[in-house]
A and B are shown apart, each in its own frame.
Chain A
Amino acid sequence: MKATQKQAETRQPWVREDLVIVPMRAKSAADAIAQLGARLQTGGFVKDTWTQATIEREKTFATGLPTPEVGVAIPHADVEHVLQQAIAVGVLEKPVEFGEMGNPDSTVPVRIVCALAVARSELLVTLLQQLVEMFQSPGVLSQIAGARSPAEIVEIFDHHIQIE
């Protein structure tokens, strides 16, 4: 009983319904980042510098991943722009092009944008490992892309992202 209580206290969900935009309409990667950044800022998770820092970082270190089912991007900024950990998720009606990670000459059509607010860099490693596992689980990305409500998205992420 005590252990369960403790777990419930320490496990805060990474994604909240107010951080999910579904369906999202964006005209560019920067637009998508700005919309998700606004949600993160309103929720008190990031500083007002986060959106610009993330858009800038994307130019040098692109985060589009050409995953098998649906393209995903994981835009983020350095820890100094973050107040509290969270992920804002946007599911685009029509894909926008993100630069491909590791390949500056190429872009990826992205439908799922996961804007990461991570306050400690060692936490980013664990989060990234769990996200990668999640992206590589068959069917999960299609499930996210097909979700109709923020609650569905929250549930999927909560199932896969489990960091104390």
Chain B
Amino acid sequence: MNGERRVLIACGTAIATATVVAEKVKEIAKEAGIPVKVAQCKAAEVRGRIATFDPHVIVATTPVPKDLGIPVFNGVPFLSGVGMDALKAQIIEALKKA
């Protein structure tokens, strides 16, 4: 693995839950020593942002299409606290593999 990993965070409005999740993703990547660049968008904008931002991983708090060809994680555990440790581990693993 070398270079910056790009993570696209999608939610309903691109503002509220995406911002909370983006902060968490930055935090766990820093802990794992992985440099990341994070962008936020609305769920409806995901395809367009894939073309321009070229993310390695997508974390979404609202449903996004399943056929994107990029690992997609449900980011709601960052909000509910349930399953958060497992999600952190999965995202870090995906970032390392990317």
Query: B-contacting residues of A (Cβ < 8 Å)?
Result: 57, 60-61, 65-68, 78, 100-104, 121-122, 124-125, 128-129, 132, 135-136
Contact = CB atoms under 8 A, between A and B. Distances in A.
B19 A102 contact: no
Interface residues of B, number: 21
A8 to B, nearest CB: 28
A135 B84 CA distance: 13
Given A135-B80, A135-B81, 13 more contacts: A61-B13, A65-B76, A66-B76, A66-B82, A100-B76, A101-B79, A102-B60, A102-B74, A103-B74, A128-B20, A129-B19, A129-B23, A136-B81
A92 to B, nearest CB: 18
B16 A104 contact: no
Contact of A101 (B13, B76, B81): B76
A65 B83 CA distance: 12
Contacts of B16: 121, 124-125, 128
